[in-house]
Structure 1
């Protein structure tokens, strides 16, 4: 005989989404009703991009050469992830081509899991070929896994990046305050152009 759940699954999902929303609201740095101007928002994102790249170079010195060779570099300095049964991620970033910011983007992702809490990470995507960059720029919304595969960088004990990874059209790095994260997946992350 099957036990009936005290709460219907739809109710649990709604509660989880509500808790994730509250968690995200608690993680924001802007007070409600005090939206930063577009210029400030752009400045904040650009400063975050610079800081993220500097930290990446310290953590994985070999990444500097890859960034220099990349046709485009998309950086999300702070992707907030909150979960309670149902999880969600959101962050803003900038695409740089030839060391100039070409546009601003958002990333969103959802997941189902049993971890409760919130955390922040940075994501750096390197478009190593002109074709990969053009397909990204010409897309109307872009999803990792569906529109392109991102090879997450593997850093060896010597600090070098795996040569197979370094030859892929799109290379990704995921970092936290503790350094590079290994074994994560960006599969399903949706990226869209935004106006700041």
Structure 2
């Protein structure tokens, strides 16, 4: 008696799975501000995100005060079924004033099923890092960024050695800090809301 051979996805099966992943991502993004109009909506969400981050992680406030600029992405929605993606919109603030609006996108492939939502904040600790970000047509997360996340302690850290890095990131979710979260592959593009 021979054992059944493993199933191999046909092109049609793979295409249907990919479309399901894209559909799942689109459905998850529906409450993410996609389709909402106006800078006031984004600004209100940015204000609420910063307030919540400072309340939950008060040691992030000194980072914001020392930063040349802060990019706040209040809600990133990430979903996937084999193929996945993430989307969010936010604002860049310099001296607590919104100077630009950005979208963030991320694509991924591999074994993944499900959806999650999270916020993240990028702290541009040098004028050069801020200038490079603002002058780029489509800036992607690179090796010059460090997470202000203590993977074992479960809290945000502001170690003085990290303050010398050009870009710092805080990633947190509705249920608290996302341990081991990564922004790798995320691309930021200036938008007009």
TM-score by length of 1: 0.84
Would you say the 8 A contact 2:76–2:118 is kept in 1?
yes
Out of 145, 160, 163, the residue aligned to residue 150 of structure 1 is 145
CA distance in 2, matches of 1:186, 1:123: 9
Question: Which residue matches 1:7?
Answer: 9
Q: Secondary structure at the match of 2:179?
A: coil
Q: Secondary structure at the match of 1:126?
A: strand
Question: Which residue matches 2:20?
Answer: 19
Out of 129, 133, 139, the residue aligned to residue 130 of structure 2 is 133
Q: Pairwise CA RMSD of aligned residues?
A: 2.4
Question: Which residue matches 1:172?
Answer: 169
Would you say the 8 A contact 1:91–1:107 is kept in 2?
yes
Structure 2 unmatched ranges of 5 or more: none
Say which structure is richer in strand.
2
Question: Which residue matches 2:117?
Answer: 120
Out of 69, 82, 101, the residue aligned to residue 104 of structure 1 is 101
Structure 1 unmatched ranges of 5 or more: none
Q: Within 5 Å, which residues of 2 pair with 1:60-79?
A: 60-79=57-76
Tell me how far 1:55 sits from its aligned partner: 1.3
Tell me how far 1:25 sits from its aligned partner: 3.4
CA distance in 1, matches of 2:94, 2:174: 26
Would you say the 8 A contact 1:59–1:180 is kept in 2?
no
CA distance in 2, matches of 1:158, 1:125: 17
CA distance in 2, matches of 1:108, 1:192: 8
Tell me how far 1:117 sits from its aligned partner: 1.4
TM-score by length of 2: 0.86
Tell me how far 1:16 sits from its aligned partner: 3.4
